[in-house]
Every structure is written in C-alpha cells, then in structure tokens.
Amino acid sequence: MNRPPTVPPAPTAGVPIGGDTGAGTGDERCPYTGTAATPAPTDRRTARRSAVPALYGPRFQADPYAVYRELRGMGPIAPVELSPGLHAMITTTYEAALHLLRHTPGTFRKDPQYWAALREGRVPEDSPALPMIMPRDNALWKDGLEHTRLRGAITASLARVDTHGLPAMVEAIADALIDSFAADGTADLVAQYAAPLPMQVLLHMFGCPEDLGYTIVDAIARLFDTVSDAARANAELEAACLELARLKRAEPGDDVTSWMIEQPQRLTDVEMIQQILLVVGAGTTPSTNLIANTLQRLITDDEYAGDAYTGSRPITGVVERVLWEDPPVANYCPLYATTAIPYGGITIPAGVPVLVSFAMANTDPALDGMRREDNRGHLAFSGGIRACPAQGLARLITQTAVTRLLDRLPDAEPVDPDAPASRRPPTFHSGLTTLPVAFTPPRATPSPFHEPGSTLE
C-alpha cells in the first residue's frame, strides 16, 4: 500500500477544526460540524441515514441529484463524506462555486499542504477517494509562481496541437472504430466508441505507445471510479507516465510529451509524471463521459428527435447543454481556506477540503429559465485561473466524434429504451458504463482522411 506523501505544516495557521473527532478515533461524527457521518454500508439493511450526506454508496449511486437537493437544503456550502472516514465540504450553488474559484489564490489555496486532517494523519491511507485529491507536483495542486510555471509548460505545449488537422485525425479514429462493429447492427457506444476514441486521440497527441497508453488510461479510469485498489492504480499510473517521459527524453518527437520536455521550465521526471497524468487524465475519462452523455441525449431524448440528424439543431449547442446539465466531472477542484471564513450564513473552517460541485452549480435552481444551448457560462470546465486549458480541444474532439457517429449510424436507437441508464460511481464524475444501441448496418464509408491499413501512431 502506497502511503500518501508527507505533508509539511501549513505556512498559515488555521483555527482548530473538530478537536479529536474524525477518522481514526472511532467517532462517526463529521469533524467539521459535529453531526453524524454515514458508515460504509455493508448492505441496505445496515445502512442508516445521516445528517452528513455521503458522496458514495448505494443511495448516491442510485440518485446523486436527490443527495444534491439535500445538500442544497444545508446551505451554499455543506459537509459531505467522500469515502469512509474522508470528510470534506462542497459547494451547492453556482454563486458559491464562483466565489471559491474567483478567490483562488488569495482566500483559498489549492495546495493540499493546507489540508489539516491529512497533515495530522486523520485521513485513512486506504481511502479510495484519496488518490484523487492527494498532493501532487502538478499545476492543479500548486499556487502562485509554481502554478504559473507548471501551467505555462502545459498551455504552451497544448498550443502547438494542430487544431486544423485534429478533426481529420478524430474522424479517422472514429471511422476505424465504427467499421469494427458496423456490420453487427448493435454496439455498446461506451466500450466500443466513447471510451477508446479519446484514448487513441491522446495516445497520438502524446506520442505514446499503445500498450503504455492502455495502462495509463485504465489506471486513470480506476481512480475516477474510486475503486478499492486506488493506491495500486495510482502506482501503475505514475510508473507508466515516468516510462513515457523517459522514452521521450531519449527519443523526442512531434508530440505534446516532447514539447513539454522542451519547455524552458525544464520539468524534472517527477514533474513530467504529474503533468502527463494531469493532462491525459483530464482528456480521457472526462471526454469519454462527455461523448457518451451527448450521444445518450441525442439518441434517447425525444426533444432532439431528428434535429441533430437534419441539421436543424447544431451539435455544438447540444454539447453545451450536456455540459450544463450532465457535466462529465461532477465534483472536484478541492480548495482550502487559510483561515476561518464566513460565507452565506455558514463558516468555512481553515484546512478543510472544499470541493466545487460543477453538477450542483450548473443545475442550480437559481439559474432556471436560462437558455443553455448557446451559453457557455457553465462551470463544466471549472473557472478562473484554474479553468481547463484544453476545453477548446475537448469540444472539438467531442463534436467531431458525435457528428461522425450520427453520420454513419443515423438510425441508432437504444436496444432497450425502458432500461435505466447504467452509470459510473458518481463521487467525482458523471458518465455511463454502457450505452447499447441497435442500427441498420451501413455500407462501409470510411473517412477520406483514413486509408485502410494505415496507422495513426
């Protein structure tokens, strides 16, 4: 079992939060509010309700938005349990999410060195949620000049991606995937399309060998799903990213990995591991979710019947609406107050991870009536100085992938329209595990950019 990194004392002293309560004491109360936390249920009979909602378990898996409504009733920022013994707080409104994002840095910091419970050894080392918010040497978790330095290496490298050639590459990958199942008349659009497509795009962009890429993407998906072997997945992920970085140091190419190595920031191997992990992590599992969520909306929602196929409603607008209503990353971006802060009638304690809920922000009832198909005011890509630097690439990949699938399989429809959607564990993200469809097998019509027998590697 890998231990989380040792975290030095925070440079800014905070107020006490919860005394000796919390993980590791046998006390099941939330250390920030004193209210009872939910134990990990072994079955439905032993599960009990709690004053502190849990962002895991059967109840949250079955209906996360019911839990979100409960959280909204507790205030603009509310206490939650991310996994057994791992306590946090979370924003419940659009305004609260913006407040945190706009006051970082300053009032709120990203560096987990400010996380009091982790510093004091009160976070379970085997928590499946821990690898998603543990300290890392990448731009997402740094503040000030170090954040600027690391983010600069990423943005400068992504800026070199050929956005004119990218749609052709996505179309070629899409056609190869569709050709692999088109004759069957049925497909699982998650396993056979939405999952492999962004992975193959990112492998090409990063100059990554296929076997190494599969290891990276599989480990990232397991971390997002907060699986029980999260520590092992994290170790496999970091080892694979190190191998890729060393490969590109020895044999640089025309790819994002090599471009990051070439940057004047002179990233170390440790920094390369974490920047690769960050960018590939943001570009694969969330992109899979966005592609699948958009396809599900188009294929199953009567409101869109015929529109996307006939061109009367552009795919770009549908993607934006999905980003509003079903963002691929639901809850993330933990921040830490450096001192106790009053906000909206509650007090945010110092040293407590406060997650930004993009799902609750984007579906805040206060925003009802807003036209969302031509509005990019959502927070699906975060905001402020932490906004995703690759959101343009994510939109381009998604729109191209969705459009190509609809062009090739225009009559795709659910195999079982009445079957409930099977979704992934929604602690941090929102996505489907399967999307089974049936369609009329088309004639093979490969993209003019794709030559049979060619590779994209």
Domains annotated for the chain, with CATH where assigned, are 149-318+383-438 (1.10.630.10)
**How far apart are the C-alpha atoms of 234 and 138, rounded to whole Å?**
15
Pairing of strands 341-343, 108-109: unpaired
Alpha-helix residue ranges (DSSP H) falling in 47-123: 57-62, 64-72, 94-102, 116-119
**Residue 241 amino acid letter:** C
Q: Are 287 and 394 spatial neighbours (Cβ–Cβ below 8 Å)?
A: yes
Helix axis angle for 285-300 and 315-325, nearest 10°, is: 110
Could you tell me the strand order of the sheet in which 331-337 lies? 77-83, 86-91, 353-357, 331-337, 108-109
216: Cα separation from own chain's centroid: 15
Q: What is the DSSP letter of 251?
A: S
**How far apart are the C-alpha atoms of 417 and 413, rounded to whole Å?**
8
Task: Count the neighbouring beta carbons within 10 Å of the beta carbon of residue 83.
Answer: 23
**How far apart are the C-alpha atoms of 100 and 94, rounded to whole Å?**
10
Please choose, from the candidates 248, 202, 226, the residue with its C-alpha nearest in 3D space to the C-alpha of residue 394. Answer: 202
Token pair of 408, please?
């090739």
**How far apart are the C-alpha atoms of 322 and 320, rounded to whole Å?**
5
Burial class (CB in 10 A: 0-12, 13-18, 19+), 270: middle
Extract the runs of DSSP E, i.e. beta strands, from 7-75.
none
Question: Angle at Cα 156 formed by Cα 153 and Cα 161, nearest 5°?
Answer: 125
**How far apart are the C-alpha atoms of 446 and 143, rounded to whole Å?**
47
Per-residue pLDDT of the chain (457 residues; tens, 9 = 90+): 344 444 444 443 333 333 333 333 334 456 665 554 444 444 333 333 447 999 999 999 999 999 999 999 999 999 999 999 999 999 999 999 999 998 877 789 999 999 999 999 999 999 999 999 999 999 999 999 999 999 999 999 999 999 999 999 999 999 999 999 999 999 999 999 999 999 999 999 999 999 999 999 999 999 999 888 899 999 999 999 999 999 999 999 999 999 999 999 999 999 999 999 999 999 999 999 999 999 999 998 877 765 555 555 688 999 999 999 999 999 999 999 999 999 999 999 999 999 999 999 999 999 987 767 678 889 999 998 889 999 999 999 999 999 999 999 999 999 999 888 899 999 999 999 999 999 999 876 555 545 444 444 3
Q: What is the DSSP letter of 12?
A: S
